[in-house]
Amino acid sequence: MRIVLVGPPGAGKGTQAVRLAEKLGVPHISTGDLFRFNISRQTELGKLAKSYMDAGNLVPDEVTIAMAKDRMEQPDAKNGFLLDGFPRNVSQAQALDELLQSKGIKLDAVLDLEVPEEEVVKRIAGRRICRNDSSHVFHVTYSGSKKEGVCDVCDGELYQRDDDSEDTVRKRLEVYHTQTEPIIDYYKAQGLVVTIPALGPVEEITKRALEALKREK
């Protein structure tokens, strides 16, 4: 299956993507994680991306699309993928359509995670992620690690993302509303959008998403 996950910052895209990708047997492709990996390696791409991310802005389309395309063309993504954080504006969505069309393939669904803004702010404020792998995600009150400050998966150090400060979160929400939300209408016109209420226990939301995908098949 080829799926896109959308939703505001902190909606739980990464949390759900890890679980859904495992259940569906497709790779989880997160452009945010790819940028953070490049930042931790101090690559040129990482240095460029960091300046935009720390300000809460989108990284320019040219580099983002090239990076996402390269990842989608890896052998493990041949039979499907779950995109998390890409596309993030209409021109990225158009670029994705062109790429898929050139290969004669299509998206199966766009899952829109619906979470009220005040909950999103709480989720981001308490989020802690692992230095070794930013897909290892915890929350200080909702889903703490067994040992404070230490990742349950790999014993890595947990830290708060630089872009999770209050000011940057406000900017990321504004960017979401102005630049990312329009892709929901773009995909609605293609009949691909499934809205998933994303309040409640993590496992419950995964179940809702899997059931919705079954209906889409």
Annotated binding-site positions for ATP? 10-15, 127, 137-138, 200
- Closest to ligand AP5 by CB, 54 vs 108, is 54
CA distance 193 to 205: 16
Active site residues: 13, 88, 127, 161, 172
Who's near 174: CB < 8 A, 6+ residues apart? 56
Interaction residues for ligand AP5, span 167-206 (CB under 6 A):
172, 202, 205
Strands (E), the chain: 2-6, 28-30, 81-84, 109-114, 127-130, 137-139, 158-159, 193-197
Paired tokens of 67: 């990076």
Interaction residues for Zn ion, span 166-185 (CB under 5 A):
none
Contact status: 9 vs ligand AP5 (CB under 6 A)? yes
Phi/psi of residue 112, nearest 5 degrees: -105, 110
Interaction residues for Zn ion, span 99-158 (CB under 5 A):
130, 132-133, 136, 151, 153-154, 156
Chain positions contacting ligand AP5, by CB under 6 A = 7, 9-15, 31-32, 35, 52-53, 56-59, 64, 85-86, 88, 92, 123-124, 126-127, 137-139, 142-143, 163, 172, 202, 205
